[in-house]
A and B are shown apart, each in its own frame.
Chain A
């Protein structure tokens, strides 16, 4: 990575860390990797989020883990449900990892030649938490065979 990109990435990472410190949110940092991890308590299960600054691409990247693991026989339905749920969103998308059954919500933005403000990070965090809160029960029901992909977003209708 060239020196300018590295400096820019470090600046964005510093903004991210400052945001969390300013809010008093606890976090675990991996500064060499420009990664910040945090866990928030929701109504039921804890929500794990991972921010990463991808310097080579000038991206601020968030993965919010849905605390449900799909078994092999639920992967196809899970992939259909991820597509359904993603279509229902205005920003970001869900991804099912068909190898290990994990599910994440992904949100990322470019910061090339830009100055990222804490309001954007606040928005990303809100979205990451809101997606876990809104969808983790549905993915759990899907995993248990009590909800189909076709019914996945019908809950909102």
Chain B
């Protein structure tokens, strides 16, 4: 595919991502020139900064939610252990911990290479982000702050 075709294809994918967000009833900000959407989801515990972006050249969509806290200095190993433990349980998506800036992000990606991807697949990607945010964001925060132990992430295991 040439660049023009890739860009056109990406535009169609971007619309499907927006359609999937509409299915959730979310309000979001569009940056069409970057094929990006952003929104803040307010929940009862931690607010979630969420974005999705289409990458035309690699035919990939990345859905990303950022946790609204920095890991306490000195907790890098304990957070890395928790991240790996949670990611073992995740059939799709993963938490990413950057020890340099001590940030944690949840990312799930969707390739559309040589495929016809329906809006429901993008809905599932978004749902995956929300599911993990709901299940683990607050736990990660309290674990980092010393109020939660590693074995409490999966009680009963």
A contacts, CB < 8 Å to B: 54, 57-59, 61, 75-76, 79-80, 82-84, 86-87, 90-93, 95-98, 106, 108-120, 122-124, 149
Interface residues of B in 73-106 (CB under 8 A from A): 76-77, 80-81, 83-85, 87-88, 91-92, 94, 96-99
A114 B94 Cβ-Cβ under 8 A:
no
**Which of A59, A79, A109, A120 makes the CB contact (< 8 A) with B77?**
A79
Q: Mostly helix, strand, loop or mixed at chain B's interface?
A: mixed
Q: A90-B58, A119-B114 are in contact. Are A58 and B94 (CB under 8 A)?
A: no
Shortest CB-to-CB span from B110 to chain A, Å, is 6
A54 cross-chain contacts in B, Cβ below 8 A: 91
B109 cross-chain contacts in A, Cβ below 8 A: 91-92, 109
B113 A108 Cβ-Cβ under 8 A:
no
Shortest CB-to-CB span from B140 to chain A, Å, is 13
A95 B84 Cβ-Cβ under 8 A:
yes
Provide 8 A-B residue pairs closer than 8 Å at the C-beta atoms, listed in order of the A residue.
Answer: A90-B58, A91-B109, A95-B88, A108-B91, A109-B92, A114-B116, A117-B114, A117-B115
Task: State A124–B58 Cα separation when bound (angstroms).
Answer: 12
- Number of B residues with CB within 8 Å of any CB on chain A: 36
A58 B124 Cβ-Cβ under 8 A:
yes
Task: State A59–B91 Cα separation when bound (angstroms).
Answer: 8
Q: Compute the total of residue contacts between A and B using a CB distance below 8 Å.
A: 113
B85 cross-chain contacts in A, Cβ below 8 A: 98
B contacts, CB < 8 Å to A: 58, 60, 62, 76-77, 80-81, 83-85, 87-88, 91-92, 94, 96-99, 107, 109-121, 123-125
A118 cross-chain contacts in B, Cβ below 8 A: 114
B80 A83 Cβ-Cβ under 8 A:
yes
A112 cross-chain contacts in B, Cβ below 8 A: 118, 120-121, 123-124
**Which of A95, A113, A124 makes the CB contact (< 8 A) with B118?**
A113
**Which of A79, A113, A124 makes the CB contact (< 8 A) with B84?**
A79
